[in-house]
Amino acid sequence: MTSTQGRVENRQPGYVPADNSQPPSRRFRFNEWLDGHARQLFITPAVVMILIFSIFPLVASLIIAFSRVRLKAGGYQVRFVGFKNFSKQIFGSEQFHFLGTFTTLTFLGWVVALSASAAILWWMYRYITTGFSIIGFIGRMITAIVGLGIAWMFAGTFFSGNPFGTLGVTLFYVFVGCGVQFIIGLGLAFLCSQPIRGRNFFRVAFFIPMMITPIGVGYVFRMMADTTKGPFSPAWQWFGLNDFAWAANPWTARIFIIIGDSWQWIPFIFIILLAAFENIPRDYVEAGQMDGASNWQIFREISWPQVMPVAVTVMLIRVIEGFKIVDLPNIMTSGGPGIATESMSLHSFFAWRSLDLGQSAAIAYLLLFVTVVICVSFFNLIVVNRMRRI
């Protein structure tokens, strides 16, 4: 690593602080040494920790993903198997589990697949004809390929009446779940920022779910959703739903998991957006009221532009965390019915539990790939774009 003049070089060397009345001693020399290396000292611990506990495992995990790993007495036995662990997920015996079950595309499937493809190709075409840079092109190519893959995956499974796999489930949790959480969180923050009494109470009460361990939240919502002895079972029966079990239907099971996840995570979005709303100078809003603007107009024209940059970043964080969802489906349904609620993290976790470390790592890597592509696309194509427009 190379170094340049930093601001720290401006200090006057050799100056002894007034309170340090000791003569130059070993301690002093040590302090001087520390000071001389402050540039490195400040950042090295973080770099070293990340190298050891993030980069090193990341590379090791990649190697495991290309291997067959077996536990043997006294350690591990690792055999290189190439892309087998990956191809199994995408084309082989685990395809149904990761991508979903494919039969022939129905008419609706074709419509969705072709229109999504057309939209993505049009978007690429427009990019190439308007502005062009190598890095931008490569980045958009990756986004387009992943987008096409996901579109065809949903077209072949969901839109053709087949169940989809853990990839689809994860995307469902992330986009539907985070979407719902954002809308509710935003709404609550807006309401709470109004001049009303008891704001502190609401602020504290709404924050509580974030303090509960996710695994606890899973169990709490299993209690809530119990149709025989849970608190809502009388209501459930009153509605004549005796013969309907949420856990036996893939969609209701997924929705229940999203409800639990939202209960826990809306507070996070709420608390930050509330701060953003409160940060808007009251004069702006009052000026709007003076001009006779309706509440909706005030929100749209005055509050939203102020809150938008924060909202986008909060969503980015939430989406990143959303991809990691594992505790709730694990506790509430164990991934059932069938594999309908299994997220990719859970898929990988189950593979680990059956000691299939290679597959576990391969799925984890696929998750990482999808997360990175989607988050980076979101950041570059939406956040940066929006920021520029404002």
Partner 1 sequence: MKSTCKSLLAGVAAAAVLGTATPTFAGEFDGVTISILTRPGPVIAGRLVDRGKEFTEMTGAEIRVNEVPFAEIFQKLLTDWATGTNSIDVGVFASGWAVELVDGGLVENLDPYIAKDDKIDIDDIAPYFREFNQKIGGNTYLITVDGDFQMLYYRRDILEKIGMEPPKDWDDYMKVAEAMNGMDMNGDGEADYGSCIFKKRNAQSYFAIGSIAAGFTQTKGTGEGLWFDTETMKPKINNAGWAEAFRVYKETGKYGPTDELNQDIGDTRALVQAGRCGLVIDWGDIGPLSIDESGAAIRDKMGAVIMPGSRKVLNPATGELQQCDADLCPHATDGVNHAPYAAFGGWAGAVNAKADQKVKDASYAFLSYMNQAEQSNVDVTLGWTGYNPYRNSQLNDTSKWIEAGFSPEFADNYLGAIKDSLNHPNMASDVRIPGAQQYTGVVLDRELARFLAGEITAEQALANIEAGWEEITDDFGRDTQKQMYKLSLGITN
Partner 2 sequence: MSNVSKVPRRSLFDRLFEPPRIGAMAPGAKIIVYTLLLAWSAFVLFPIYWLLITSVKTAADVNAGPFFIPFVDFTPSLHAWRELFIVDYADTLRAYVNSLIISLAATALAVLVGSMAAYALARIRYQPNLITILIFILTMTAALFAVFSYGVDWRIVLVVGVGIFYFFSKAVASRVKVPLANGDILFWMISQRILAPIVVVVPIYMMFQSVRMLDTHLAIILTYAVVNLPIVIWLMYDFFNSIPKDLEESAQLDGATMIMTFREVVLPLSRAGLAATTLLVMILCWNEYLLALFLSTAKAQTMPILVAAMNAGERGILWWSMSVVIIVMIIPVVFMAIVLQRYISKGVLLGAVKG
Contacting positions for partner 1 (CB under 8 A): 68, 71-76, 93, 97, 101, 163, 226-229, 242-248, 250, 253, 333-340, 350, 352-356
As a whole number of Å, the CA-based R_g of the chain is 27
Cβ nearer to partner 1, comparing 53 with 244 = 244
Closest distance of CB 327 from partner 1, Å: 12
Which listed option, partner 1, partner 2, none, makes contact with residue 338 (CB within 5 to 8 Å by class)? partner 1
Min dist. Cβ of residue 368 to partner 1 (A): 23
Q: At a CB cut-off of 8 Å and minimum separation 6, what does 80 contact?
A: 66, 67
Angle at 263 between CA 262 and CA 266, to 5 degrees: 65
Secondary structure letter of residue 278 according to DSSP: H
Total residue count of the chain as it appears in this document: 390
Nearer to partner 1, 106 or 306 (CB): 106
Instruction: List the single partner that 205 binds among partner 2, partner 1, none, CB under 5 to 8 Å by kind.
Output: partner 2
Q: Which is nearer to partner 2, 49 or 119 (CB)?
A: 49
What does the DSSP assignment read for 330-377? HHHTTT-STTTT--HHHHHHHHHHTT-HHHHHHHHHHHHHHHHHHHHH
Q: How far apart are CA 332 and CA 280, in angstroms?
A: 40
Q: Determine the interface stretch with partner 2 among 46-54, 102-110, 144-152, 240-248 (rule: CB under 8 A).
A: 46-54
Which is closer to partner 2, CB of 96 or CB of 199? 199
Closest Cα partner for 261 from 210, 190, 206? 210
x/- mask, partner 2, residues 351-390, rule CB under 8 A, reads -x----x--xx--xx-xx--xx--x---------------
Q: Binding of partner 2 at residue 55 (CB under 8 A)?
A: yes
Q: Around 36, how many Cα atoms within 13 Å sit in the side-chain half-sphere?
A: 8
Residue of 1, 134, 135, 390 interacting with partner 2 (CB under 8 A): 1
Q: With binding defined as CB under 8 A, does residue 124 bind partner 2?
A: no
Q: Nearest-CA neighbor of 105 among 161, 189, 29? A: 161
Note whether 315 and 182 are within 8 A (CB). Answer: yes
Show contacts with partner 2 in window 186-215 (CB under 8 A).
187-188, 191-192, 194-196, 201-202, 205-215
Q: Is 34 in the site for partner 2 (CB under 8 A)?
A: yes
154 binds, among partner 2, partner 1, none (CB under 5 to 8 A by kind): none
CB of 261: closest distance to partner 2 in angstroms?
A: 13
Q: How far is the CB of 207 from partner 1 (least distance, A)?
A: 29
Residue 334 binds what, of partner 2, partner 1, none (CB under 5 to 8 Å, by partner type)?
A: partner 1
Q: Produce one character per residue of 202-231: b if its CB has 16 or more CB atoms within 10 Å, e if not.
A: beeebeebbeeebeebbebbbeebebeeee
Q: Rule CB under 8 A: say whether 282 interacts with partner 2.
A: yes
Least Å from the CB of residue 121 to partner 1 = 33
| Segment lying near partner 2 (by CB under 8 A), choices 59-67, 139-147, 158-166, 238-246 | 59-67
Residue in 219, 299, 304, 378 binding partner 2, rule: CB under 8 A: 219
Q: Which of 120, 174, 178, 272 binds partner 2 (CB under 8 A)?
A: 272
Instruction: Establish if 63 lies at the interface with partner 2 (CB under 8 A).
Output: yes
> Whole-angstrom Cα distance, residue 371 to residue 322?
10
DSSP calls for 38-82: HHHHHHHHHHHHHIIIIIHHHHHHHHHHTEEEEEETTEEEEEE-T
Alpha-carbon span 223 to 143, nearest angstrom: 41
- Cα–Cα distance between 179 and 60 in angstroms, integer? 35
x/- binding map, residues 285-324, to partner 2, per CB under 8 A? xx--xx----x-------------xx--xx--x--x--xx
Element (H, E) at 67: strand 67-72
Strands 67-72 and 75-80: antiparallel
